[in-house]
Chain A
Amino acid sequence: NAGVMQNPRHLVRRRGQEARLRCSPMKGHSHVYWYRQLPEEGLKFMVYLQKENIIDESGMPKERFSAEFPKEGPSILRIQQVVRGDSAAYFCASSPPGGFGYGYTFGSGTRLTVV
Chain B
Amino acid sequence: SQQGEEDPQALSIQEGENATMNCSYKTSINNLQWYRQNSGRGLVHLILIRSNEREKHSGRLRVTLDTSKKSSSLLITASRAADTASYFCATDANTGTASKLTFGTGTRLQVTL
Residues of A within 8 A of B (CB): 31, 33, 35, 41-45, 48, 55-56, 59, 91, 93, 95, 99-109, 111
> Are B45 and A48 in contact, with the CB atoms below 8 A?
no
> Shortest distance in angstroms between B26's beta carbon and chain A's nearest beta carbon?
14
Which of B12-20, B59-67, B68-76, B93-101 participates in binding chain A? B93-101
Residues of B within 8 A of A (CB): 4, 30-31, 33, 35, 40-45, 47-48, 50, 88, 90, 92, 94, 97-106
> Are B44 and A41 in contact, with the CB atoms below 8 A?
no
A42-B88, A99-B99 are known contacts; what are 17 more A-B pairs with Cβ within 8 Å?
Answer: A41-B106, A42-B104, A43-B43, A45-B102, A48-B100, A55-B98, A56-B98, A56-B100, A91-B42, A101-B30, A101-B31, A101-B50, A104-B33, A104-B45, A106-B35, A106-B44, A106-B45
Specify which chain A residues have a CB less than 8 angstroms from the CB of B40 in the assembled complex: 111
Interface CB pairs A-B, < 8 A, 14:
A31-B99, A35-B103, A42-B103, A43-B90, A45-B102, A56-B100, A93-B43, A99-B99, A101-B50, A101-B99, A103-B47, A103-B48, A106-B35, A111-B40
Number of residue pairs spanning A and B whose beta carbons lie under 8 angstroms apart: 67
Specify which chain B residues have a CB less than 8 angstroms from the CB of A45 in the assembled complex: 100-102
A42-B88, A42-B106, A45-B101 known; A102-B48 Cβ under 8 A? yes
> Are B92 and A108 in contact, with the CB atoms below 8 A?
no
Specify which chain A residues have a CB less than 8 angstroms from the CB of B35 in the assembled complex: 106
> Are B88 and A108 in contact, with the CB atoms below 8 A?
no
Specify which chain A residues have a CB less than 8 angstroms from the CB of B48 in the assembled complex: 102-103
Specify which chain B residues have a CB less than 8 angstroms from the CB of A41 in the assembled complex: 105-106
> Shortest distance in angstroms between B39's beta carbon and chain A's nearest beta carbon?
11
Q: Name which residue of chain A comes closest to B2, CB basis.
A: A42
Most buried by A among B35, B40, B42, B94: B42
> Shortest distance in angstroms between B65's beta carbon and chain A's nearest beta carbon?
15
Whole-angstrom CA separation of A48 from B93 in the bound complex: 14
